[in-house]
A and B are shown apart, each in its own frame.
Chain A
Amino acid sequence: MTTLDSSKEIKKNNSDVSEHHEDFRMFGLITFLIADGMTFAGFFAAYLTYKAVNPLPDGAIYELELPIPTLNTILLLVSSATFHKAGKALLKNKNSDTQKWLIVTALLGITFLICQLFEYFNLPFGLTDNLFASTFYALTGFHGLHVTLGTLMILIISWQSRPKAGRITNKNMFPLEAVELYWHFVDGIWVILFIILYLL
C-alpha cells in the first residue's frame, strides 16, 4: 500500500470521526476574545482604582470633550450594522454586495481612527502630563490598535470575497464570521470605554 493510499484511508477514518465535530474554530476565537477582553479588564480596573484612590494633583489638566467620542461611538455602532449586512449578503451568495458592505465598514473604521487622531492632537494634555492623561492614552491607544488591526482584516476579506475568487463564499463563511465577531468585540470594548472614560 503506498503512502497515498494509506493517507486516503486515514482521511476517510478521520472524516468519519470529524463529521461528528462541528467547526470549533469559532470556539477558539471566542476563547481568544475572552483573553483579550481580560487585558482590557486589567486596564479598566487600574483606571477605576486610580479614580477612587489617587486624586488629580493641583494644577493638573485632564478634561475631555464629548462631541468627537460620541461621533466615534456612532461610527462604530453603524459599522457593526454594515458588517452584519455584509454577512447577510454572503448568505444569499451576493458576493459583490458583501464586498461593498465590507468596504463601507472599513471606511467607517478609518474615519473612526482619523477622528481619534484629531481628538489626540486637540487635547490639552499629553501622555506623561499626569496619571489620568497616561491612562487615557493607554486605554484609547490600545483600543485604537485593535481597530487598526480590525480594519486591515476587513480590507483583506473584502478583497477575498470578490465575486469570482471563490475564497469567501456562502460555503466558506468562517473568515467573514470570525472578523465580524472580532469587530463586534472591538465595538463592545469601545462602548465600555466610552462609558467609563468619558461619561463617568
Chain B
Amino acid sequence: MTISIDSQGSDTNSLQPKGWLRYLSFSLDHKVIGIQYLVCGFLFYLIGGTLASAIRIELASPMSDFMPRDVYNQVLTLHGTIMIFLWIVPVVNGAFGNYLIPFYVGARDMAFPRLNAVAFWLIPPSGLMLVASYFIEGAAQAGWTAYPPLSITTPQSGQIIWIMSVLLLGGSSIFGGINFIATIIKLRRPGLKLMQLPMYCWAMLGTSLLVVLSTPVLAGTLILLSFDIVAHTGFFNPVLGGNVVVYQHLFWFYSHPAVYIMVLPAFGLVSEILPVHSRKPLFGYTTMVFSIMGIVVLGLVVWAHHMFTSGTPPWMRLFFTIATAFIAVPTGIKFFNWVATLWGGKISINSAMLFSCGFIVNFVFGGITGVALAQVPFDIHVHDTYFVVAHFHYIVYGGTVFIIFSSIYHWFPKVTGKLMSEKLGILHFAITFIGFNLCFAPQHWLGLNGMPRRVAEYDPQFQFVNQISSIGALLMAISTIPFLVNIFLSIKNGKDSGDNPWNALTPEWLTSSPPPVENWEGEAPLVKEPYGYGKPITQEN
C-alpha cells in the first residue's frame, strides 16, 4: 500500500485513482472501504425501501390488486433479504467498523487490509445478482426465512440465486468479523488497554464473535437446502424422509444472533455519540462492557423463540422463554446508562442527538414488545402476525436505522471536513420520527386482532388502519429527500467544519478532517479516557 501525507490520498503512482474515483477502486485504505460500504449499503436501502413502498401500496386496499400474488411474495422476500444482508449488517459493521476501529485502537489500518477489500467487493455483485434474479425467472418468494418445503417447491432459479447471494454475503460478513477481532485484540497501540477502548470497539468485538460463530451455521444450512432443491435430497423434505423443524433450528441458530449483529454495533455507536453531545462521560463503562458480553452469550442460546408454534416440546419452549426474557436485563442496563449519560449534561440538541434520543424511545418500545413476545403463551397468539412485524421494525428501523442516521450526522464533518445543515437535519428527523411511528405503531393492533404476516389480502375491517400505516410509510419515503439534499449540498457547499467541530475526545477527532491517509501525522495519540468530559485536565496527545 503506497502511503503519502496528502489527505487526498493521491501519490506519485499515476495508476492509483484520485479523488472520488478511489471509491470505485479496489482500495486497501480502511477509510475508503468504510465509505464504500456506507454508500453501497445506502443504495440498497433505497432499493429495499422502494420494495417496502410497493408493499404498503398493495396493503392500502384489502384485496390483492396492485401486483400479482407471486410477485408480492418476491417483493417481500427481497425487501427483508436486502434490508438485512445488504443494508444493515454491512453498514453498522462494515461501514462504521472499518472507518472507526483503526482510529480507536491507534492503528494506521485494519489487521488484514486486503481481506477487508475482498469482503467489501463481495457485496455489490451479490446484491446485483439478487436483484437481477427478479428479471430472470422470478426472485425467491419464500420469505427471507426460506422455510422448506415452500422454498423447495417454489420456482427453483430464484431460490438458488438467493442462496448463492446470501452465501457470498455471509462470507463477506465472516471476513469482516475476522478482521475486526484481530484488529481490536492485536493491533492496539502500545499503552492502550482493552478497558480504555471506546465502547464501539467492545460492541464490535462482541458482534464479530457472534458473526464468526453463527454465520457459518447458516452457510451450512443453505448448502443443505440447495441440495434439496437441486439434487432432490431429503434433508428438509418430509416426502423424502426429512425434517422441516431441523431447518428451522439451524436457520434460527444464525438468524437470532443476526439481530444482535444488527443491533450491537448500533449500541456501540450511540455510546460514542451521546457523551460528545451531552459533554458528559459515558455512564457505567464497565457494566456496559459486561452487558455487551452478556448479550453475546445469551444471544447464542435463545433461537427457538422464533419457533414457539412449530412443534417444539414444552420443556424446550420454556427454556427459551426464560433465556430470551433475560436478555432484557443487560439490554435494559445499557438504556438506563444512556439516559444517565444524558442526565446532568450540557446537551446540544442537534440532528445527531435527536436521532439518538429517538432511538432510545423507539427501541425501549420495541424491547418491551420483545419481552412480551418472549413469553410462550403470549407469542402463540401473535406469532407470524403484524405484531411481530411491528416489533422488529421498532428495533431495526426505530433502533438501528435511527442510529445510522445519527452517526452520519455525527461523523460527516470528520469524513468530509464540512458541516451538514442542521435545519435540514431536524426536518429529516421530524418527518422520519412521525412517519415511522405512524407506519408501525398501528401494526401492533393489526396483529393482535387477526392480521397475519406476508399477505397481500386481508380482512376488510383492517383497511382503515392499514391506510394509516401506509401514509406513515409515505412519510418515511419523503423523509429521504431532506436527507439526500442535505448530503449533496453539504458535500458541495458545506461550511468548513475544522478538525473537531464537536470538541470530542476520541482519537478520530484528534486529527484533521478529513484525516490523512495514515490517519495521523506522526504517532497515534494515546487516549486513555475517551469519555473524559467534565474534567479540568487536558487530554494527552
Contacts and interface: CB of A to CB of B under 8 A. Distances in A.
A contacts B: CB pair < 8 Å? yes
A46 interface: yes
B12 interface: yes
A111 interface: no
B233 A128 contact: yes
A118 to B, nearest CB: 22
Given A3-B4, A13-B523, A131 B240 contact: yes
Contacts of B187: 21, 24
B5 interface: yes
A57 B238 CA distance: 12
A40 B241 CA distance: 22
Contact of B253 (A22, A27, A42): A42
Interface in B189-234: 189-190, 212-217, 219-221, 223-224, 227, 231-234
Interface stretch (B242-250, B363-371, B433-441, B502-510): B242-250
Contacts of A134: 227, 233-235
B372 interface: no
Contacts of B250: 42, 45-46
A130 B234 contact: yes
A41 B253 CA distance: 12
B182 interface: yes
Contacts of A46: 220, 224, 235, 246, 250
A39 interface: yes
B234 A131 contact: yes
B189 A31 contact: no
A7 B243 contact: no
A34 interface: yes
Given A27-B185, A42-B216, A131 B235 contact: yes
A21 B235 contact: no
B111 A28 contact: yes
B242 A38 contact: no
B188 to A, nearest CB: 9
A32 B178 contact: yes
Contact of B232 (A39, A45, A128): A128
B242 A7 contact: no
A20 interface: yes
B208 to A, nearest CB: 9
A149 interface: no
Given A35-B212, A42-B253, A131-B235, A10 B217 contact: no
A113 B117 CA distance: 34
A200 interface: no
A3 B186 contact: no
Interface string A111-133: 00000000000000001101100
B181 interface: yes
B111 A35 contact: no
B454 interface: no
Interface stretch (A48-56, A65-73, A176-184, A188-196): A48-56
A36 B216 contact: yes
A35 B216 contact: yes
Interface in B496-538: 518, 522-524
A197 to B, nearest CB: 15
A199 interface: no
Nearest to B243: A54
A160 B524 CA distance: 37
B255 to A, nearest CB: 13
A38 B253 CA distance: 11
A172 interface: no
Given A39-B217, A42-B216, A28 B182 contact: yes
A130 B233 CA distance: 8
A135 interface: yes
Contacts of B185: 24, 27
A130 B189 CA distance: 56
Nearest to B187: A21
Given A20-B190, A24-B187, A128-B234, A42 B5 contact: no
A42 B174 contact: no
A21 B107 CA distance: 11
A46 to B, nearest CB: 6
A40 B224 CA distance: 12
A138 interface: yes
A43 B190 CA distance: 42
Interface string B451-471: 000000000000000000000
Contacts of B220: 39-40, 42-43, 46
B112 interface: yes
B213 A27 contact: no
A43 to B, nearest CB: 5
A39 B222 CA distance: 11
Contacts of B179: 28
Contacts of A36: 216
A39 B243 contact: no
Contacts of A7: 2-4
Contacts of A14: 108, 518
Interface string A1-36: 001101100110110110011101101100110111
Contact of B518 (A10, A57, A127): A10
B11 interface: yes
A12 to B, nearest CB: 11
B217 A135 contact: no
Given A49-B243, A54-B243, 16 more contacts: A14-B518, A17-B523, A17-B524, A24-B187, A28-B182, A31-B178, A31-B212, A35-B177, A35-B178, A35-B216, A41-B217, A42-B216, A42-B220, A46-B235, A50-B246, A130-B234
List the 10 shortest-distance A-B pairs measured between CB atoms, nearest first. A24-B186, A42-B220, A42-B217, A134-B233, A38-B216, A39-B216, A131-B241, A39-B220, A31-B178, A28-B182
Interface of B: 2-5, 11-12, 106-108, 111-112, 115, 174, 177-179, 181-182, 185-187, 189-190, 212-217, 219-221, 223-224, 227, 231-235, 240-243, 246, 249-250, 253, 518, 522-524
8 contacts: A10-B3, A24-B187, A28-B112, A34-B212, A43-B220, A45-B249, A49-B246, A138-B224
